[in-house]
A = this chain, B = another copy of it.
Amino acid sequence: MLDERKLTVLRAIVEDYVSTTEPVGSKSLVDRHHFDVSPATIRNDMAVLEEQGFIAQPHTSAGRIPTDKGYRLFVDRLSGVKPLSVAERRAIETFLGGAYSIDDVVTRTVRLLVQLTRQVAVVQYPSLARSSVKQIEVVGLAPQKLLVVLITDTGRVEHRTVDLAEPWDEASVAHVRAVVNASLDGRKLAEAAGLVATLGERIPAVDRANANTVFTALLDSLVERHEEKIVFGGAANLAAHDFSKGLRDVLEALEEQVVLMRLLGEADPAMLTVRIGTENPVAGLRSTSVVTSAYGSADQPLAKLGVLGPTRMDYPGTMGAVRAVASYVGKILMES
């Protein structure tokens, strides 16, 4: 029922609308793309496409714009992923290569995606699930204040300050430090978290209270849901497209960690996923599309990242950028 030409028409409509932002009519369609048929024929095709719900007209005498369903078909069957230019790939490589810590990798990735797509970038911190305890430091800061530092073999550093009920003394702290390092060194974080509870008994009764406070903080660091730490950037690009009223909602959504979680969370971890307009799980983002991908190795994804923009976006280009960046970020983080 949708022959070859109708699909081509749909593709043309999507492409034109994305680049011009204006409803596209039969006439301009045959002009810009060298169709061998007359506008009237195209109109018939468009009527069918509209009936099927792939395109719609804002008002009677206007051209057509793609519906979410139309974009969906476009993404699924009518377009591929546009590979980046060699120059772009190289730029990504050198830019990300210069990162000197996880936080730096994440913020650079955001900037990179913003730059590449001129839209909003969303990047989730890499999961600590596969990390192991490398070293734990316990340092006295003040008479009743300690700092607990957790270092993982993946180069992550987590820390907590701890307020104690009673003053600490050097020997006890050293002992606590020795105990935790001896028991937890080399363990996976999850594993280590399980062991924390058993550590109390190795501490002399007098120091037990303080030690437990330390253990609590440590446990906190070990189980912290890093997946929930998500950063975004490029909000200024939203203002360019005229969300008019919706902008408020979009910005609000972006500032809610929980919302961002859902946004990335429900995407298939194995591949590039595209969520178009109303397909979106978040109410405030019904007028936007999101392209997401996991990064890390294929079988062991570390976390996700993505790009958000108006449903009228350059899907092939955005997908290309997201895929490339995800791939490089994964590489950078895995080689440690």
What residue in chain B is nearest A149 (Cβ atoms)? B157
Provide the bound-state CA to CA distance between A162 and B247, in Å.
42
Of the residues B101, B142, B252, contact of A336 by C-beta under 8 Å: B142
Distance, CA A234 to CA B252, complexed state (A) = 8
**In the complex, A251 Cα to B234 Cα: how many Å?**
9
Q: Which of B149, B155, B220 touches A100 (beta carbons < 8 Å)?
A: B220
Please measure, in the bound complex, the distance between the C-alpha atom of A157 and the C-alpha atom of B101, giving whole angstroms.
Answer: 12
In the bound assembly, the distance between CA atoms of A111 and B160 in angstroms comes to 20
Do the beta carbons of A151 and B134 come within 8 Å of each other? no
Q: What 1/0 mask marks residues of chain A from 141 to 160 whose CB sits below 8 Å from any chain B CB?
A: 11001010101011101011
Copies assembled: 2
How distant is A63 from chain B, measured CB to nearest CB, in Å?
A: 27
User: Which secondary structure dominates chain A's binding surface?
Assistant: mixed
In the assembled complex, A179 has its CB within 8 A of some CB on chain B? no
Q: Which residues of B contact A161 (CB under 8 A)?
A: 100-101, 155, 336
**B157 near A147: Cβ-Cβ < 8 Å:** yes
Residue from A149, A160, A236, A336 whose CB has the most chain B CB atoms within 10 Å: A236
Least CB distance from A270 to B in Å reads 27
Is the Cβ of A149 less than 8 Å from the Cβ of B147?
no
Interface assignment of A137: CB less than 8 Å from any CB of chain B: yes
Q: How far is the CA of A17 from the CA of B240 in the complex (A)?
A: 29
Taking the closest CB of chain B, its distance from the CB of A213, in whole angstroms, is: 12
**Apart from A100-B217, A101-B161, A238-B251: 14 A-B pairs, beta carbons within 8 A:** A100-B162, A101-B160, A134-B139, A141-B155, A142-B336, A145-B155, A147-B155, A149-B149, A155-B159, A155-B161, A233-B255, A235-B235, A235-B251, A239-B248
A residues bordering B, Cβ < 8 Å?
100-101, 134-135, 137, 139, 141-142, 145, 147, 149, 151, 153-155, 157, 159-162, 217, 220, 233-236, 238-240, 247-248, 251-252, 254-255, 336
